[in-house]
């Protein structure tokens, strides 16, 4: 078995960014590509090479690096985060009164997009609602029928009960404030001073628990809009919005309102190699080709000056070094300048993913990533079971 | 998009009560005006002759999509 050198492995990992081309784009480390090398997939090898590094972890926004895995797996996590982690969102609206400017349909869509926060345990306990098909709608809904979407114990039903539907309501009416009419006649135009409840916010949506929801959704765990200050509509005196709403559990693949993330994305780690020293005025120019903080300047030391070559007589002059490649945007600006020709090699590390997950407010962002790992695992188990069945049939 | 899952209650026309007052809103001063059959169409507050009918209170179902 041939063992490639460390330098060769580094070279293979680097996606090269040249002046007008991007080369070495795809991963080649699979069996039979390099004669004599063993690239068969191995759990132990994967386990040893995989690394996770956290850069920042705020409640709703986190950034971390996944190192040592293929793009297909990193991408699977990203896609699961966006489209398959379940959340609860408003699905049907029973509009009793809407005399606002906003049309019923548009207002309904706005209600649906409000992210709802609630006890995580409770959301996990909630089951799916099976949407009745067009021709089944007229028939009575059947209890506990249908296959399972996620695990065996979660039965789907189209009947609305406490374990699959959360009820919300909104009841706002805009009125004149005390003395508002007089102020209006004196030329006041600030709606806040003239009217009561002229803005309808997400916080006006209130949750009414039912049945076993009292166990899960009480106190801090009660359902509420994750961002209370979302403006839903504007009203003027005499206008009112009265509606009840049903929220169901769903996934982002069905509708974006169920997606728990605002963005979940990754980029590859930039790599900058300075092949021969860039000194003096050139160094300053070189640093300006990159975002701030990527390239640092340091004086040439006495030992380096003693080496001769490009360092000859340059002691104390400033020299460019790579301070923080992660902050680079790989704009390739430095490659446009003649003086840096053949002095720098730009690239991206193929197996280093800088992920960023921003939650819309239902779940903590690091928890979301763990959730996506869990879902991928569940998918693999399902796949494995299907394969086993295929072998026995 | 609208109203497919919900069958609105049907009313028998013969039971309609014409003596029940209906509320309108005045086109000028926005006050509520209650009118019965045969009443002059006129706002009691300001005498404006344009009255608007209120939106029905019948519930409408929408999907948030």
DSSP A343-393: TEEEEEEEEEEEEEEEE-SSS-HHHHHHHHHHHHHHHHHHHHHHHHHHHH-
What pLDDT score does A391 carry?
A: 84
Q: Write out the two tokens for A384.
A: 């494995």
d(CA B43, CA B28): 9
**Count of structural domains, chain A:** 2
**Contacts for A163 with CB less than 8 Å, ≥ 6 apart:** A125, A126, A127, A211, A212
**Does residue A137 have a pLDDT over 70?**
no
Exposure string of B13-25, with b = 16+ CB inside 10 Å and e = fewer, is eeeeeeeeeeebb
For the stretch A311-341, pLDDT in tens is: 888 888 999 999 999 999 999 999 999 999 8
- Are β-strands A51-57 and A61-67 bridged in parallel, bridged antiparallel, or unpaired? antiparallel
A20 and A62 assigned to the same domain: yes
Q: Write out the two tokens for A371.
A: 């959730």
Instruction: Give the Cα-Cα-Cα angle A97, A101, A106 (nearest 5 degrees).
Output: 80
A110 and A198 assigned to the same domain: yes
A75 and A102 assigned to the same domain: no
What pLDDT score does A155 carry?
A: 61
Q: Domain holding A191: CATH number?
A: 2.170.120.12
Interface of A with B in 63-122 (CB under 8 A): 89-99, 104-105, 108-109, 111-113
Q: A79 CA to chain B: closest CA distance, Å?
A: 21
Note whether residue A387 is domain-resident. yes
What number of other Cβ atoms are within 10 A of residue A93's Cβ?
26
Note whether residue A297 is domain-resident. no
What pLDDT score does A151 carry?
A: 43
The arithmetic mean of pLDDT across residues A13-19, rounded, is 94
Q: If you average pLDDT over every residue of chain A, what do you get?
A: 90
Q: Give the residue among A80, A15, A64, A57 at the shortest CA–CA distance from A353.
A: A64
Q: State which residues form the domain around A26.
A: 8-84+260-275+343-392
**Does residue A94 have a pLDDT over 70?**
yes
In the listed set A205, A235, A259, which residue is the last one of a domain according to the structure?
Answer: A259
Q: Domain holding A371: CATH number?
A: 3.30.1360.10
Note whether residue A148 is domain-resident. no
In the listed set A259, A291, A317, which residue is the last one of a domain according to the structure?
Answer: A259
A39 and A174 assigned to the same domain: no
**Does residue A224 have a pLDDT over 50?**
yes
d(CA A219, CA A149): 30
What pLDDT score does A148 carry?
A: 40
Note whether residue A1 is domain-resident. no
For the stretch A257-300, pLDDT in tens is: 999 999 899 999 999 999 999 999 999 999 999 999 999 999 99
Interchain CB contacts (distance < 8 Å): A and B: 51
A78 and A91 assigned to the same domain: no
In order of A176, A189, A192, B28, the CA distances from A183 in angstroms are 11, 8, 12, 19
As beta bridge partners, residue A299 has A318
What pLDDT score does B55 carry?
A: 85
A107 and A227 assigned to the same domain: yes
From chain A, pick out residues whose CB is under 8 angstroms from the CB of B30.
237-238
For the stretch A208-223, pLDDT in tens is: 999 899 999 988 889 9
Q: How confident is the model at residue A153 (pLDDT cuts 50, 70, 90)?
A: very low
What pLDDT score does A132 carry?
A: 72
Q: What is the CATH number that goes with domain B22-53? A: 2.20.28.30
Q: Is B53 at the interface with chain A, CB within 8 A?
A: no
CB–CB of A96 and B59 under 8 A?
yes
What pLDDT score does A18 carry?
A: 94
Note whether residue A299 is domain-resident. no
CA A251, A252, A256, A258 torsion-angle sign: positive
Q: A106 CA to chain B: closest CA distance, Å?
A: 9
For the stretch B7-31, pLDDT in tens is: 766 767 666 677 788 889 898 888 8
| pTM, to two decimals | 0.83
Q: Is A139 at the interface with chain B, CB within 8 A?
A: no
A59 and A14 assigned to the same domain: yes
ipTM of the complex: 0.74
In the listed set A259, A293, A308, which residue is the last one of a domain according to the structure?
Answer: A259
């Amino acid at each position: 078995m041939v063992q490639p050198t460390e330098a060769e492995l580094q070279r293979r990992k680097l996606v090269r960014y040249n002046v007008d081309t991007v080369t070495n784009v795809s991963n080649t480390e699979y069996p039979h590509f390099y004669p004599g090398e063993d690239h068969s997939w191995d759990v132990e090898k994967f386990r040893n090479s995989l690394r996770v590094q956290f850069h920042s972890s705020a409640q709703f926004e986190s950034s971390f690096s996944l190192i040592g895995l293929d793009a297909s797996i990193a991408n699977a996590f990203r896609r699961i985060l966006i489209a398959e982690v379940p959340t609860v969102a408003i699905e049907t609206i029973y509009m009793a009164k809407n005399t606002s400017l906003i049309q019923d349909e548009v207002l309904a869509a706005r209600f649906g997009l409000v992210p709802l926060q609630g006890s995580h345990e409770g959301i996990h306990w909630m089951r799916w609602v099976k949407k009745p098909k067009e021709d089944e709608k007229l028939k009575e809904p059947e209890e506990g029928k249908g296959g399972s979407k996620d695990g065996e114990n979660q039965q789907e039903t189209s009947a609305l009960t406490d374990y699959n539907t959360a009820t919300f309501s909104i009841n706002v009416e805009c009125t004149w404030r005390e003395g508002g009419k007089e102020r209006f006649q004196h030329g006041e135009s600030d709606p806040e001073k003239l009217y009561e409840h002229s803005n309808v916010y997400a916080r006006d949506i209130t949750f009414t628990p039912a049945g076993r929801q009292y166990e899960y959704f009480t106190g801090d765990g009660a359902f509420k809009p994750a961002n209370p200050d979302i403006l839903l509509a504007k009203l003027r005196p005499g206008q009112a919005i009265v509606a009840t709403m049903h929220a169901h559990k769903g996934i982002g693949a069905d509708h974006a309102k169920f997606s728990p993330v605002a963005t979940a994305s990754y980029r590859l780690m930039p790599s900058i190699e300075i092949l021969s020293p860039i000194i003096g005025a050139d160094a300053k120019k070189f640093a300006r080709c990159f975002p701030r903080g990527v390239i640092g300047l340091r004086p040439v030391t006495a030992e380096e000056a003693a080496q001769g070559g490009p360092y000859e007589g340059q002691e104390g002059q400033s020299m460019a070094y790579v301070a923080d490649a992660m902050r680079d945007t790989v704009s390739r600006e430095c490659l446009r300048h003649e003086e840096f020709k053949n002095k720098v090699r730009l690239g991206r590390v193929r197996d280093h993913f800088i992920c960023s997950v921003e939650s819309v407010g239902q779940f903590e962002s690091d928890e979301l990533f763990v959730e996506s790992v869990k879902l991928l695992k569940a998918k693999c188990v399902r796949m494995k079971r299907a394969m086993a069945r295929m072998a026995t049939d | 998009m609208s109203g497919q899952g919900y069958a609105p209650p049907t009313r028998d026309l013969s039971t309609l009560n014409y003596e029940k007052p209906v509320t309108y809103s005045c086109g000028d001063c926005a006050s509520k005006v209650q009118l019965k059959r045969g009443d002059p169409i006129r706002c009691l507050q300001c005498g404006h002759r344009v009255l608007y009918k209120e939106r029905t209170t019948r519930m409408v179902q929408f999907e948030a999509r």
